[in-house]
Structure 1
Amino acid sequence: MIDVTSRETGRGTVEVTVRGDLDAVTAAGLRHVLDGIGPVRLELDLTGVGFCDCAGARLLLRTGERLRAHGGALVVLRPSAPVLRLLGLLGLDRHLPVGGAVGASRTGGGD
């Protein structure tokens, strides 16, 4: 199960907070929310994500590409250690801006 909350923070920024597992089953629900967000700066808080698989990572990459194509941006805020590790393993930490990582160091990535 996944819990998603969204709020406009002003100045063209939307913050979406995700809690739960981000996997092939739950990615569709999150995709529905993210696809409804227009060309803004999207700050995606992943502090509460305990597990993320390739379907979740693919959704993050696709959302970032879609927003950039329309003048927006995706920033992954405070990813949990499992999310940060997966982004590093897949090399996506070089394509998605990451801020305030919960998993203190950025080891295990493709650096």
Structure 2
Amino acid sequence: MITVTSRETGHGAVEVAVAGDVDAVTAAELRCVLDGLADGPGPVRVELDLTRVGFLDCAGARLLLRTEERLRARGGALAVLRPSAPVLRLLGLLGIDRHLPVGGAVGASRTGPGD
């Protein structure tokens, strides 16, 4: 089970905070929220707070890439904020941290593509 909350940040972005494990089963709930933002009017920047995600599997990683592609096609963007250590490790192993801005992770030196 996961908990997904979202709020407008006031600077043209929506922050989506996730708590729990994101796997093949629970990714569907997160996908509903992210699809709603990607399909909304106009471009949007989604800031995905993964501080409280203890586990992210390949289904969750695939969802991040799919969402980023959909947002980018509409002039928007996806950024991963404060990923937990296990999430940051997976993003690094899969090379996703080289394609998506990743910021605020403990011990992380890279904040985005090309940094």
Could you state the TM-score of these two structures normalised by the residue count of structure 2?
0.87
- Where do 5+ consecutive residues of structure 1 fail to align? 107-111
Please give the per-residue CA displacement for 1:41-95, whole angstroms capped at 9, x wherever unaligned. 1000000000000000000011011101100000100000111000110011111
Superposed CA RMSD: 1.0
Counterpart check, 1:21 vs 2:21: yes
**2:75 aligned partner:** 71
**Deviation for aligned residue 1:105:** 3.9
Correspondences of 1:46-65 after superposition (within 5 Å): 46-65=50-69
Correspondences of 1:92-107 after superposition (within 5 Å): 92-102=96-106, 104-105=107-108
Structure number with higher strand proportion:
1
**2:44 aligned partner:** 40
Name the % identity: 82
Please give the per-residue CA displacement for 1:89-111, whole angstroms capped at 9, x wherever unaligned. 00111111101013x246xxxxx
Q: Secondary structure at the match of 2:47?
A: strand
Could you state the TM-score of these two structures normalised by the residue count of structure 1?
0.91
CA distance in 2, matches of 1:42, 1:11: 11
Counterpart check, 1:12 vs 2:17: no
**Deviation for aligned residue 1:10:** 1.8
CA distance in 2, matches of 1:11, 1:101: 21
**Deviation for aligned residue 1:11:** 2.9
- Where do 5+ consecutive residues of structure 2 fail to align? 110-115
